[in-house]
Structure 1
Amino acid sequence: MGAMLPIEFGPRVCGHLESGVDREWLVPDGLGGYAMGTVSGLRTRRYHGLLVIAGETPAARRLGLVSLDPELILPSGATVRLGAHEWRSGDVDPRGFELLERFDLVDGLPRWRWRIGDLVLERDLALVHGRSALAVRHRLVSGGPARLGLAAVVTWRDGHGERGAAGPPPQVEPAAGGAVVEDAFRLAGPDWAPQGQWWHGVYHRQEAARGLTPEEDLWYAGRFTGALDRPGDSVSVLAWAGDLADEPPPADELIEAARRRNRRVVAAGKPTDEVAATLTLAADAFVVRTSAGPDVVAGYPWFGAWSRDTMIAYEGLFLSTGRADEGRDLLRAYAGALSDGMLANTADTGRPEYNTTDGTLWFLHAVARHVAVAEDTDLGAELLPALRAVLLGHLRTDPRAAAGGGTAAFRGARYGIGVDPADGLLTQGCAGEALTWMDARVDGEPVTQRAGKPVEVNALWINGLAAVAELADLLGQDAGPLPAARDRARAAFRRRFPAPAGWLYDVVDAPPPVYPRGAAARHDDDLLRPNQLLAWSLPHAPLDPDPATLRRLADALLTPLGPRSLAPGSPGYVERHRGGPAERDSGYHQGTVWPWLIGPYADACRRAGLPTDETFAGLTAHLSEFGLGSVSETADAAAPHDGTGTPFQAWSVAELLRVRPS
């Protein structure tokens, strides 16, 4: 089956401001750039725009074309404004969404349909995959005649920032059929008339809710105008970056080509139902091409590439969608970037940051799954030396420091990451660092530091030892010390992690809360978190799942959108992922729901013989509630579990696609 879920809304959603702005659409360009906005057409984020252009990395984006605001000029001389903007005064003007009778995703691309009496106007848009190029088409469906004006509103700024009228306006130079803005992107369409005016005080309500600067000024660069004399007539505009002399093909061709490509992407994944087809196309948004080869955008609109997210999402994004060839290139490139046995966590900050304990272990898992699912022993043989070096690097100890005990005795990797000679478990952590996936900070201090021996890190460690030893055996090579290290760590895991509370400790040998200063005594942290799911879900999990324990976890943690990050009633539990940066980061892993954890949960349940078919209904419904056709990064811990974080998140999509029953 290739048909996707029908995602369509009538006037009750389109014309109701709160409903229309809560639902966002995304069109990616395959490079990390995108077009993005809301069903209503109102820009609610600084990130919304029609041409957002990726830079040297997917995270280095700049906003160019902000909007093309339609205005119909009727034979009577009356004008009907179909755009939508919110202003610092609180006014929303114009209110074109009140004339919307329908919004659809057509082959994954947005379509708006306005009705003014018997006149019906449709807007379609598409981006060229692999190029920063946009086509926007307005077509008269019925009624007419009319003339259509399109106000080109532009800026040129960092995607995370804002630009104001206190500085110089964007430089706009004439070009054939339109204009070039800041020597960065070009606009072309019918009957261009330059304008040149600041629009002051445009307001972004989502940024206000996130405690960030909600206002900016935009530049009204000019206006395109075309005739819509009879049904079927259209007025189109192109916008593109890169080679500004290389004008893209006509809008009709680009839009149809984009739809054909989306259908091919879906078909290549061989989906078995509409939900799988929708998730297959959603997964495509995150796979991008950079100068170094394929990579993964962790989430839109503000993330770039993060190795942990990439490796967790790898199987769903590449192996579940028929993209093993691209995945092979990605894994090879990441292996080449290992440094002292570690993957860089991200380079979004402008330089590689090697500050993750688990990202590298997820890399071992991704390679093992690739070899198993794609039956690609050639890649396994190529990468085996690198995988073995990672594990041996974590096993190494410094004999000169061993007499002193503690983490200083472990040579291992950075940040005190290494195997404890006392029990073979992996320990990690140092002052000011949060090295697991629960990595939020407030004022530079970790919220959930989890120094010591985290449960999922050690499950991944044992899984990695077993997977690489198995690969070596498959290739007829000596696994060396890996099997013994696996057996020792697994025995220690089974001895150390079961807690009297009836579940697994989240961290054993954790420092006291005043770490690293203060008492030397260590403790075992039994807060009920979902991290322990990996102890039962991984292919080489250290424990056999216990149905009673999983039911207890489900009772405390499971929501319609996935598991909470902390059980209600626990110290520090937060119901709503809301507020400014510090407030949001404080609750990021303190109850907030993470849909990606539906993967480990479903795997653990299946290994325990528990049914999962009814586990995914909430997430399926979520596909039309927030980021359309996709899955959000996070959600509130308390009902109704509103989506939060990025509306389009790679590992959320990938894990749901991977574990949904086919």
Structure 2
Amino acid sequence: MSYLKFEKTLMTNLEESLSRELLRTNRSGAYSCSTIVDCNTSKYHGLLVVPVPEMDDDNHVLLSSLDVTVIQHGAEFNLGLHKYQGNNYSPKGHKYIREFNCDKVPTTVYRVGGVLLKKEVVFQHYENRILIRYTLMDAHSETILRFKPFLAFRSVRQVTHENSTASREYHSVDNGIKTCMYAGYPDLYMQFSKTNEFKFTPDWYRGIEYPKEQECGYAYNEDLYVPGYFEMNIKKGESIVFAASTSEIKTSTLKHLFEKEVEDRAPRDNFFHCLVNAAHQFHNRTSKDERYILAGYPWFKCRARDTFISLPGLTLSIDEQDYFELVMKTAERSLREFMENKPQTGKITEIEQPDVLLWAIWAIQQYAKATGDDKCLSMYGKLVKDILIYIIDGKHPNLKLNENGLLYTDGRNKPVTWMNSTINGKPVVPRTGYIVEFNALWYNALKFGAKLATLKGNEAKVAEWEKIAELCKQSFVSTFMNDYGYLFDYVDGNMMDWSVRPNMIFPVAFDYSPLSQDQKKSVLDVCTRELLTPKGLRSLSPKSGGYNPMYVGAQRDYAYHQGTAWPWLGGFYMEACLKLYKRTRLSFIERHMVGYEDEMLINCLGTIPELSDGNPPFRARGAISFAMNVAEILRTLNLLEKYSYIK
């Protein structure tokens, strides 16, 4: 029984099928994304979407889609699907879909009369090349396939329209053509494994609409350029492979390459395997020696905070210690360049955010638990020490260690935490002063650093860091713990933020906490009552002022951290539950995982979206695949397994 499989009834119902998306990546920044019926509903969708570093930092849609037409006895049956004005869809190729599954590679079977055509798609790893194999499973008479490419050549952040600047020039290559619509872009190579005829019939298809952009209040109407079409005969049992790429390939190798790429794919036949597959899609290799973690698809970059929060779950939780070390090697270079006030030479952004160094130590701490303290000390002991010294010596531009042992941060005019939405350049949630998770991270980092220093025999540092940690512990409780049993979100002088927010879960979940057991239980109880949803923790309690749980329309930025639910926060909540109540909470957490497993089939298949509305039915919103969410669910599953063996 296939795990990710949909029958004809669902596929032909656009209300059901258009909400389900499919993402494929090449682990080097490029991706292919659309709905499961191949109807693009967002400007971020495209069959071949690649970075063009010579132009900017964005991804660019080169090949938007590829319409396939089955021709028999002169009758044409177009399997494509596009949305136009007035809720009109043309052609209506989805009505020919018999079934769809993507347990290993996305596979669609079409039936047109006596014709049974199978389509399979893979994205070649580390190359900007999408491969599609068409197999004629059955046919009772001569069959011709026609392929019509829809070209965009524009940034994912824009839409394009018919214009006279676009070049119509093309050149023949091995079993295909190459073309480039605008200067500065790479050539797009479209090739087949079989000899074909390309007919040059240039035209613009006008008024294609993207309902996701319309819902958000963005420009949603686009014209796409079609240079012509390819035609070829196909016999029963024959397979033809199409390749779209930014480089030419010898077409005689396409069939073998497709088979090789399929062999490299792990099956997505259950919840865990889907998460592992999703974890690998965040891998980003830009050179032989550089490895990164993309924060999410389709629009996120390699952000520092996201990297360190997601790295343990995406690697250590699935026994991929080697990739942790590769990413950390690249990240350490960026961290040291920042601490030494040197220009950044890597791709990691937002390295200057004040909690990034603290999250880096937390990530290293997870490595120690997975590999042992001695190995961690040899790999990262010096980095942990250097980070702590850097902060204590007051060298960070926006972290000040006060005499009470707490870290102070200025976040009035610029967002400095993960709650980073802005309106007119100002933070929607201006968290500033003593920020609760910053200081929980700080206490945890000091204690972990002291542990490594003890192994190293550095008694002076042990004494220094333990002294600061004890002062931090006392100040943390007196500063953040209030009479109602939960923690202030931030404190700045006489200003105390009474909002019930999920950031207080971190000191309950961390290995080293300034809170007593009773205080932890009290905080966890408040999180359970007011913040817990089936999709993670809300970013704000419904009882707090400003609660806005629906992430929709032009007001999305106001709602982003004002009540929406985040699965990655739920990961720390589950860890806190297990640390406090051990095996007695196993069944509770296992039931909660069901809420995440539902996501495998209803949004972007096989992965976890960025956030959900904070109120039922908790509809998925934001980015279609988010690294921190996948990571924390994997880490929770790993913790569940470990605690299951604790007696």
What's the TM-score, normalizing by structure 1? 0.88
Which structure 2 residues correspond to residues 260-299 of structure 1 after superposition, within 5 A?
A: 260-263=263-266, 274-291=270-287, 293-299=290-296
SS of the residue corresponding to residue 638 of structure 1 reads coil
- The residue type paired with residue 472 of structure 1 is A
- Indicate the SS of the match to 1:6: coil
* Unmatched 5+ stretches in structure 2: 181-185, 642-647
2:477 alignment partner, one of 494, 497, 519 = 494
Task: Give the C-alpha shift of residue 38 in structure 1.
Answer: 0.4
Q: Structure 2 counterpart of 1:281, which letter?
A: N
**Do the aligned partners of residues 249 and 360 (structure 1) sit closer, same or farther apart at CA in structure 2, a change above 3 Å counting?**
farther
Cα offset, 1:383, TM superposition? 3.4
Q: Does 1:202 align with 2:185?
A: no
Measure how far apart 1:72 and its partner are: 1.0
Q: Secondary structure at the match of 2:122?
A: strand
Counterpart in the other structure of 2:598: 621
CA contact (8 A) 2:411 2:433 kept: no
Separation (CA, whole Å) in 2 of partners of 1:490 and 1:100:
62
% of aligned pairs identical?
26
SS at match of 1:43: coil
Whether the 8 Å CA contact 2:411–2:431 is kept in 1: the answer is no
1:117-143 CA distance string (max 9 Å, x none)? 332211111111111111111112223
What is the match of residue 139 of structure 2? 143
- What CA distance in whole angstroms lies between the structure 2 residues aligned with 1:343 and 1:549? 39
Structure in which a larger fraction of residues adopt helix? 2
Indicate if the aligned counterparts of 2:304 and 2:349 stay in contact, CA closer than 8 A: no
1:192 maps to 2:164: no
Please, which moves more after superposition, 537-546 or 428-437? 537-546
1:100 has 2:97 as partner: yes
Shift of the alpha carbon at 1:6? Answer: 0.6
Q: CA contact under 8 A between 1:358 and 1:437: conserved in structure 2?
A: no
Check whether the contact 2:168–2:227 (CA below 8 A) recurs between aligned residues: no
CA gap 1:470/1:502 in 2 versus in 1, 3 angstroms: same
Question: For 2:340 and 2:75, how far apart are their aligned partners in 1?
Answer: 65
**Partner of residue 628, structure 2:** 651
Over 3 Å counting, the alpha-carbon distance change for 1:246 and 1:477 in structure 2 is farther
- How far apart in 1 are the matches of 2:13 and 2:370? 46
Aligned pair in 2 of structure 1 residues 197, 377: CA closer, same or farther (>3 Å)?
farther
CA-to-partner distance for each residue in 1:40-70, whole Å, 9 max, x for gaps? Answer: 2110011111111124499532211111101
1:418–1:428 contact (8 Å) kept in structure 2: yes
Task: Say which of 375, 382, 400 aligns to 1:418.
Answer: 400
| Partner residue, 2:645 | none
Separation of aligned partners in 1, 2:43 and 2:208: 10
Matched with 1:362 is: 359
Quote the residue 2:644 is aligned against: none
How far, CA to CA, are the matches of 1:465 and 1:55 in structure 2?
42
Q: Which residue of structure 2 aligns with residue 473 of structure 1?
A: 454
Residues 334-388 of structure 1 show CA distances to partners (whole Å, capped at 9, x for unaligned) of 112124549999999x995444122221111112222331337456335333322
Spell out the pairing of 1:46-65 with structure 2 (5 A cutoff).
46-56=43-53, 60-65=58-63
Instruction: Look up the SS of the partner of 2:111 in the other structure.
Output: strand
* Cα 1:465–1:351 shift into 2, 3 Å: closer
Q: Does the CA-based 8 Å contact 2:488-2:497 persist in structure 1?
A: yes
Q: Decide which moves more: 631-640 or 163-172.
A: 163-172
The answer to whether the 8 A contact 2:338-2:352 is kept is no
Contact 1:340 1:393 in 2 (8 A): no
Contact 1:412 1:419 in 2 (8 A): no
Segment drifting more, 487-496 vs 650-659 = 487-496
Whole-angstrom distance in 1 between the partners of 2:320 and 2:126:
16
Contact 1:119-1:144 at 8 Å conserved across structures: yes
1:306–1:345 CA contact under 8 A, matched in 2? no
Match of 2:239 among 228, 234, 237: 234
- How far residue 277 of structure 1 moved from its aligned partner, in angstroms, is 1.6
Tell me whether 1:577 sits opposite 2:551 in the alignment.
yes
What amino acid does structure 1 have at the position aligned with 2:178? V
Structure 1 position 39, deviation (Å): 1.1
Partner of 2:577: 605
**Using the alignment, how far apart are the partners of 1:54 and 1:249 within structure 2?**
27
CA gap of 1:126–1:446, structure 2 versus 1, over 3 A, is same
- 1:154 match: secondary structure: strand
Partner of 2:183: none
Root-mean-square deviation over aligned CA pairs? 2.5
Cα distance in 1, alignment partners of residues 442 and 198 from structure 2 = 61
Superposed displacement of residue 235, structure 1: 3.0
- Change in 2 beyond 3 A, CA 1:149/1:461: same
In the alignment, which residue of structure 1 is the partner of 2:19?
Answer: 22
Q: CA deviation at 1:505?
A: 1.2
| Paired amino acid for 2:214 | A
Deviations 1:284-341 (A, max 9, x none): 0001101351101111111110111111101111112232112212112211212454
Larger displacement relative to structure 2 (118-127 or 57-66): 57-66
The aligned length equals 617
State the match for 2:430 in structure 1. 449
- CA distance in 2: counterparts of 1:343 and 1:589, whole angstroms: 32
Range with bigger deviation, 442-451 or 155-164: 155-164
CA spacing shift, 1:644–1:430, aligned 2, 3 Å: closer
Q: Deviations over 1:567-599 (max 9, x none)?
A: 11311111210113xx11111000011111121
Matched, 1:503 2:486: yes
Q: Specify the alignment match of 1:525 in structure 2.
A: 497
Within 1, Cα distance between the matches of 2:567 and 2:263? 30
SS at the partner of 1:218? strand
Provide the rounded CA distance (Å) in 2 between the counterparts of 1:629 and 1:347. 34
**Stretch deviating more after TM superposition (600-609 or 114-123):** 114-123
Alpha-carbon separation, structure 1, partners of 2:623 and 2:341: 24
Whether the aligned pair in 2 keeps the contact of 1:137 and 1:251 (CA below 8 Å) is no
Map 1:390-401 onto structure 2 (within 5 A): 390-396=387-393
Amino acid at match of 1:527: S
Aligned to 2:79: 82
Q: Rate the CA distance shift 1:170–1:571 in 2: closer, same or farther, 3 A.
A: farther
Aligned to 1:517: none
Q: Find 2:440's aligned residue among 459, 467, 488.
A: 459
Structure-2 change in CA distance of 1:277 and 1:15 (3 Å): same
